[in-house]
Each structure stands twice: as structure tokens, then as C-alpha cells.
Amino acid sequence: MFLFGLSWLRLSILRFGKEEFIKEHHLRKTTANFLTLSFFSFLIVISFFYSFNKEILNFLEIKNQSFLWVIIFGLLLMTLKIFIFEVLKVVRLIKVQTFLMRLASKIFVSLGILLFVFNILEINVFYVVYIFLLSDFLIIIVGLFFIKIRYLFPLQFDKILLKRMFIFSFPLLFSSWSSYIVTWVDTYVIKYFLTLEKVGIYQAAYKIFNTLRSFILTGIVTVFTPIIMVLKTENRIDKIKKFYLMRIIPQISFFIFVTIRFGILGAAFASFLVFSVNPVIWFFIINKKFDVHRKSALIFPFFTTVMLVINIANIHFIFKLVISAFLIVVVFLVSGKFNLFNKNDVELLNNINMPQLVKKIYIFLIRVSSEK
């Protein structure tokens, strides 16, 4: 229900907010319609929570029945926080948004330590929830400080935009639920069938992979998504096709292959299937939409699938290591053969505002792989 109340509307802020910001220099229509859709979503969430009040609180081992409203208030704060983060992307304050994302965990830990040291709250489930609420509230206040009031108010309701946002977001509702199921099915299955030691190894490898993915891939996606939105709004389709679909997407698939070597993603069948098949399906859909016929980006998902199969296969660790090292060499050779990285890309990247560390890694790989 949390996913229903929050995740499915998230991308609509970036999609339609960017379009409105470019044309009208504000987000009043997007804000009004987002709040309207969120309101009706929360009515459904509250109804569901109220109907299963006892079951939810028993699961959380909370005896106070009125505490359910505290949880609902927390969901409201999280919705506002996500809204602030997406608005910061739209108004070209990506660095601030990234900083606040990193700051959130620091505030949570700091508040937890301070409240414990000064014995303000007793350590229990309530303690953790209250710290979450307080840290989210502080992040919202800080985020609002960077957003000009005239960007959001006065609210302007637009029925046509409301319908467009709903139609755009509705399929994402099912995407959010399916992603949630796949993620947690792996975790529960592995914990049930494997020993505690192997579960620890899996969790460690999974966290390492997610760290690398957020460090490289998420940074790239966060930077390029607003740019693509701008180009789409300005109807510069050729630019999207030439640089992003023909250059960036194959490069991202290359990074996915590299990062997969450092973590176990695919130790369970669900994540293996989603990670290897789902991007390929979307690749064909996007190519058809933009009338792009280059299929080189599919080469690297093929190697990624092979790597995943090797990780799952019941063979000796040394053989896995040797085969993986061989595949990495082959992939680098293939990247050179298909001119995946081009030194001209460096000039384009230098004009894009992105985290310096991500840019340095990106440029380093381009220069190494493009040398003849």
C-alpha cells in the first residue's frame, strides 16, 4: 500500500514538471495535479490500513491502536519528501537533491544517537519511527528552502494534465508492485533454504552490487533523465536518437556487465529473470518508439546473462573466477570493435553537470576503451 500511495506517481513529476518548467517557468499545474492524485491514493491507503488495523499493528508488535495514524502521517511525510526531491531535479538543483539524499541517513543516525545519549526517548519500535519522522520533516524543510515559492504556488488545476499524469503513472503502479515482489521473494527464499553463513555472503554481495550500481549507474540515470526530458519537450528527437539511444544506452549496458561481476544478483531465479530479460524488452520498445535500428546494445546484456548463469552454476569457485575474467576481457575487446566508447564523448560529458567522481570514471573508461 505504501507503493500504491507513493511510487507510482513519482516519475510523473519529472515527466510533466520538466515540460511545464521549460514552457512556463513554474510547476503549479504539476504540483496541483500531483497533490490531487496523491490525495485519492491516500484515501485508499487509509481505508486499507483502517480495515486491517489490528493485523498491521500486531505484525509490528505495537499494542497502541492509535499509533496507526502515526504510520500514516509518516507515509505523508515520505510522499512530500519524494515530491521535494523530484522538484529539485526539475528545477536543475540535482546536486542539492543528491546532497539531501545523503544527508537524510546522516540526520537519522545523528538523531538516534542524540536522543539515546540524552535519554529523551526509550529505545523501542516507537523510538525508531519517531526518528524517521523527525529526520524526514527536517529534510523537507531544508529542501523547501531551495525551492522558490512561485514555482509551486498559486496552484493551478488542469483536468487535461491530470488525465495525462494518471494515464502515464498508472502502468507504473504494477511495475512498483512487481519490483517489490521480485526483490523480497529472493530474500525470503534464500533465507529459508540456505544456511546463515550463505545468507550473510549473499547479503554482503548484494549490498556491494547495489553500492556500485548507485555509484555509477544511478548517477548516470539521474543526470541524463532530465536532459532527455528537455530534449523530448523541445522535440529534438534526433539528438535523443544520436547521442542517448545510439551511444549512452549501449554504454550503460556495458557498465551493468562490469558491475555484475562484483555482486550476486541472480542467485535466485526471480532477480535473474528480471535483470536479464526486462531491460531487453524495454530496449525493443524504446527503439521502436524512436525508430532506431541499432542492436549493438543487446550484445552486453547477452554477456551479462552468461555471467549470471556462471554465478548460479554449481561449479568450483576457481572455474567461476577464470571464466568471469575471460568474459571481461572479451567484453572489452567487443566494446572496441563496436566503437562503444568514442573520444568525442568526452567533450559532450564535459558540458554535462554531474558528480565529478562519476564523470572521471566515465571519461577514464572512454579514453581507455577508445584507444586504437
> pLDDT (tens digit, 9 = 90+) per residue, 312-329?
677 777 777 787 778 777
Helix (H) or strand (E) holding 55: helix 53-59
Phi and psi (nearest 5°) for 164? -65, -40
Residue 189 forms part of a structural domain: no
- The per-residue b/e assignment along 236-273, b for 16 or more CB within 10 angstroms, e otherwise, is eeeebbebbbebbbbbbbbbbbbbbbebbbbbbebbbe
145 and 222 co-located in one domain: no
pLDDT, one tens digit per residue, over 80-102 is: 888 898 898 888 887 788 788 77
Is the residue at 105 inside a domain? yes
Are 159 and 220 contained in the same domain?
no
Give the integer Cα–Cα distance in Å for 272 and 281. 14
307 plus 248 within the same structural domain: yes
Q: In whole numbers, what is the pLDDT of the chain averaged over residues? A: 72
- The answer to the question of residue 188 being in a domain is no
Please report the pLDDT score of residue 128 as a whole number: 72
Segment of 55-69, 219-233, 260-274, 347-361 carrying the highest mean pLDDT: 55-69
| 8 in a structural domain | yes
**262 and 158 housed in the same domain:** no
Give the largest CA-CA distance in the chain. 69
Query: Does the pLDDT at position 69 exceed 70?
Result: yes
Residue 313: which domain range? 194-369
Whether residues 263 and 365 share a domain: the answer is yes
Q: How confident is the model at residue 265 (pLDDT cuts 50, 70, 90)?
A: very low
In a domain, 122, yes or no: yes
Please indicate, yes or no, if residue 185 is contained in any of the structural domains. Answer: no
Domain boundary among the residues 129, 148, 166 is at: 166
In tens, the pLDDT along 105-158 reads 777 777 767 766 666 656 666 767 777 888 888 889 988 999 999 999 899 998
Same domain (yes/no): 346, 219: yes
pLDDT at 241 over 60: yes
* Total domain count, the chain: 2
User: What number is the average pLDDT over the span 352-366?
Assistant: 69
**Same domain for 208 and 59?**
no
* 171 domain residue, yes or no: no
Statement to judge: residues 206 and 298 lie in one domain: yes
Residues above pLDDT 70, as percent of the chain? 51
Q: What is the pLDDT of residues 251-261, one digit of tens each?
A: 666 666 555 55
Instruction: Name the grid cell of 23.
Output: 514552457
Task: Say yes or no: 159 and 63 in one domain.
Answer: yes
Closest Cα to residue 286, out of 325, 241, 349?
A: 241
- Cell numbers of 155, please? 496552484
Say whether both 154 and 53 belong to one domain: yes
Task: Give yes or no for residue 292 having a pLDDT over 50.
Answer: yes
Grid cell for residue 232:
523530448
pTM to 2 decimal places: 0.61
Establish if 198 belongs to a structural domain: yes
- Indicate whether 351 and 245 sit together in one domain: yes
**Can you tell me whether residue 262 is helix, strand or coil?**
coil
Together in a domain, 217 and 305: yes
